[in-house]
Amino acid sequence: MSKYVIVGASAAGIGAVEAIREVDPVGTITVISEESCPQYSRPMISDLVSGKADFEKMKCREGKFWENTQVQALTGRTAVRLDLTEKFVVLDRGDRVNFEKLLIATGGRPFVPKIEGTDKEGVFTFTTIADAEHLAAKLQTTKTAVVIGAGLIGVSVTEALVKRGIKVTLVELQDKILSLLLDEKGSDIVENVIKKAGVTIITGQSVQQITGRPENSCVVGGVVLTKGEQIPCDVVIIAIGVIPRIELVTGTQVKTNRGIVVDNFMQTNVPGVYASGDVAEAYDFVLNQNRLLPLWPLAVHEGKVAGYNMAGKKTDYEGGTNMSALKYFGVPIVSIGIANPKEEAAYEVLVKHKPERNLYKKLVLKDNVIMGITLVNDIERAGILFHLMKNRVNVKKIKQALLQEDFGIATLPRSLRRKVYPGEIE
């Protein structure tokens, strides 16, 4: 019997453990984790492939995290079934762990399209340390790679491969790379930089088949694109996205949509059962609805909120949104909220574009409130804009200053400054 049981030990699970321990230093915690290694940063796996980081650097918590937080960690184990009436989790060897409060933080699994050849040797997904190690081990004999999907993961693994001297072809089904984060102009800037690094980018197409080698059909030899073009390669990395791992609650009364449905306390429809991270549909404060947002910082935050509530400290999740900072290919980018409004008439767009410096800044406003921030190559003031956005500050009077290079807290009128930064500047 454990007071708290957490299934999953990545971002959301870690956040939950830390939050529970802030409130409840003694309640028993059991964590069930498929991975046996210490806590590591998943977004850093591309740094492992590029050679920039080793596992030691990738550890995102102190060495003995489980000991320090007094957690009973069942590592290398999978939770296979839930009994919500008797309140226990069944593990892969049939053993049970009873709980009072349960957090499902099982994350997502990489989406693998139903195309021929994904079972060949040399096809990789890219979300775990094991994926990164397998890929890195293969690179000594690799000269060319095809990366399928030009989102965050696809672009990060592309950069890592380029750093290892590998010729990469990046294939994206949408018309633009990073299409969930950037508008056309922003995407173009990054695309040009990536092309200059020697990467071939193919958009508006996908891979219809992964083919084998003439001498061994079980080993990757190339891909066939939707329009028929063939690209020879030694490895294929599938980076299309992740789908929530909801299988643990399938068949139970826990409500699911694409992910597990949660309220603002990160609790599911079953009292005492919580969900956080990539598996959960949490609140998006820009769209004002719950949705999947598989992002590391949000997962930690959601896990913390779940942890506080599980331990009895009532805490509301303020919500996240589609938001990422990017460092790839030396182009710093921040993208938050709406980058490209669909119903243009309802929004006002402020833009600053200096092509000669690859500088691009864009704000999307609705009723004088910031709904979207895109910053390319000038990002240091991003957090101030985000603060105004989160607090739904009416920016009507300071609109012209928001994208200026000298924009800062001093730009805000005194009354507003006092309101949004109370007590900090006297």
Partner 1 sequence: MKRIIAKQEFCMGCGLCEVYCTVQHSKTKDIVKAYNRENPKPISRIRLEMNKPVSFAIQCRHCQDAPCVTACLSGAMRKDENTGLVTHDAEKCMGCWTCIMVCPYGAIKMDVNGKVVAKCDQCNGLDVPACVANCPNGALVCKEVTP
379 binds partner 1 (CB under 8 A): yes
Distance CA 251, CA 254 (A): 8
User: What is the enclosing helix (H) or strand (E) of 52?
Assistant: none
Number of residues in the chain: 426
Q: Which is nearer to partner 1, 59 or 167 (CB)?
A: 59
Please, which of residues 8-67 interact with partner 1 by CB under 8 A?
A: 15, 39, 41, 43-44, 47, 52-53, 57-61
Q: Min. distance of Cβ 336 from partner 1 in angstroms?
A: 7
Nearest to 299 by CA among 266, 343, 271, 348: 266
Q: Decide if 425 contacts 417 (C-beta within 8 A).
A: yes
**From candidates 209, 261, 297, 359, binder to partner 1 by CB under 8 A:** 297
The pairing of strands 200-203 and 167-172 is parallel
241 binds partner 1 (CB under 8 A): no
CA angle 413-416-417, nearest 5°? 80
Burial of residue 54 (CB within 10 Å: 0-12, 13-18, 19+) is exposed
Q: Min. distance of Cβ 321 from partner 1 in angstroms?
A: 11
380 binds partner 1 (CB under 8 A): yes
Q: Which is nearer to partner 1, 283 or 296 (CB)?
A: 296
User: What is the enclosing helix (H) or strand (E) of 367?
Assistant: none
296 binds partner 1 (CB under 8 A): yes
323 binds partner 1 (CB under 8 A): yes
Nearest to 80 by CA among 38, 32, 30: 32
**From candidates 218, 325, 346, 351, binder to partner 1 by CB under 8 A:** 325
**DSSP state letter for 339:** S
Question: Which own/partner contact pairs does 292-295 have at CB distance under 8 Å and 24+ positions apart?
Answer: 292/244, 292/258, 292/259, 293/320, 293/321, 293/322, 294/107, 294/108, 294/241, 294/242, 294/244, 295/320, 295/322, 295/323, 295/324
**From candidates 76, 130, 346, 421, binder to partner 1 by CB under 8 A:** 421
Size of the site for partner 1 (CB under 8 A): 46
Please, which of residues 117-156 interact with partner 1 by CB under 8 A?
A: none
Please, which of residues 167-196 interact with partner 1 by CB under 8 A?
A: none
Please, which of residues 191-230 interact with partner 1 by CB under 8 A?
A: none
405 binds partner 1 (CB under 8 A): no
Nearest to 239 by CA among 58, 108, 136, 329: 108
Q: Which is nearer to partner 1, 176 or 301 (CB)?
A: 301
103 binds partner 1 (CB under 8 A): no
The residues, ordered by sequence, that sit 6+ positions from 25 with a Cβ below 8 Å of its Cβ are none
Q: Which is nearer to partner 1, 122 or 294 (CB)?
A: 294
Q: Min. distance of Cβ 140 from partner 1 in angstroms?
A: 24
User: What is the enclosing helix (H) or strand (E) of 243?
Assistant: strand 242-244
**From candidates 93, 114, 314, 414, binder to partner 1 by CB under 8 A:** 414
Q: Min. distance of Cβ 125 from partner 1 in angstroms?
A: 20
Binding mask 335-354 for partner 1 (x = CB under 8 A): -x------------------
| Helix intervals (H) in 276-374 | 296-310
Per CB under 8 A, the segment of 164-172, 227-235, 318-326, 351-359 that binds partner 1 is: 318-326
Distance CA 202, CA 318 (A): 38
The pairing of strands 96-104 and 88-91 is antiparallel
382 binds partner 1 (CB under 8 A): yes
Q: Min. distance of Cβ 173 from partner 1 in angstroms?
A: 26
Per CB under 8 A, the segment of 94-102, 199-207, 237-245, 404-412 that binds partner 1 is: 404-412
Per CB under 8 A, residues contacting partner 1 are 15, 39, 41, 43-44, 47, 52-53, 57-61, 296-297, 300-301, 304, 323-327, 330, 332, 334, 336, 379-384, 386-387, 406, 408-411, 414, 420-421, 424-426
